[in-house]
Amino acid sequence: MKDKIIEKANDMFLNFGFKSVTMDDLATEMGISKKTIYTHFQNKTELIMATTDYLFCNISCGIDAIVEQKTGPIEELYEIKAFVMKHLKDEKTSPQYQLQKYYPKIYKTLKVKQFELMQDCVIENLDRGIKKGVFRKNIDIQFISRIYFNGIIGIKDQEMFPIHIFPMTQLMADYLEYHVRGIATEKGLEILNNLLIKE
């Protein structure tokens, strides 16, 4: 039952927002009593911690599977973006922004985990891209990996990028293109332009 509660809560939080969904809403949606939820989770904060862990693990496993396929470095970035956006329901409710605003401790813990995951993934991607001749040889991998992570976090700031002006799917697409154009060789730009035609 605990896993079912986490799965349903995750789905509802991503669709309606961490703040909007109450324990009553979740109980009603699942057709169970609130008491049943409270036997597994002391409060909503504990449930949110469990759902963010669940989502993080799912996304980490999915990214690992994409990386293992060893497709081209630029193609890999676009596959990861599509996978993450699908799992975050295109970020309609800006989950990261809501966590930061209403559950800052959970957000801080999650951000550290995201950074560690992304660092490994992005550094490997950049390194492979240089070896394959799609990224420039003179880029500073440590700097680029950190600036890329910082940008991903930064564009989710709704005060800076209001969602009614910058829909998240478009914002992520624009940011990824910006990232790749900044480091790509002629060969890399050709791959990017072909991918953009298909998008």
Q: Are 69 and 186 in contact (CB under 8 A)?
A: no
For 69-110, the pLDDT digits (tens) are 989 999 999 999 999 888 877 566 677 778 888 999 998 998
Share of the chain above pLDDT 70, in %: 97
The mean of the pLDDT values for the chain is 91
Q: What is the pTM of this model?
A: 0.86
Both tokens of 98, joined, read 């809501």
Is the pLDDT assigned to residue 199 strictly greater than 80?
no
Both tokens of 185, joined, read 């060789």
Give first-to-last CA distance, the chain, whole Å: 39
Nearest CA-CA partner of 95 in 20, 175, 14: 14
Both tokens of 112, joined, read 């550290």
Give the CATH number, domain containing residue 146.
1.10.357.10
Q: How many separate domains does the chain show?
A: 1
Residue appearing with tokens 């862990």: 53
For 152-174, the pLDDT digits (tens) are 989 988 889 998 899 888 999 99
For 36-55, the pLDDT digits (tens) are 999 999 999 999 999 999 99
> CA-CA distance, 14 to 4, in Å (whole number)?
16
60 in helix, strand or coil? helix
Whole domain around residue 97: which residue ranges?
Answer: 2-198
* pLDDT at position 28: 94
Query: Alpha helix locations (H) across 17-163?
Result: 23-30, 34-40, 44-68, 73-87, 95-102, 104-131, 141-154
Specify which residues 135 forms β-bridges with: 184
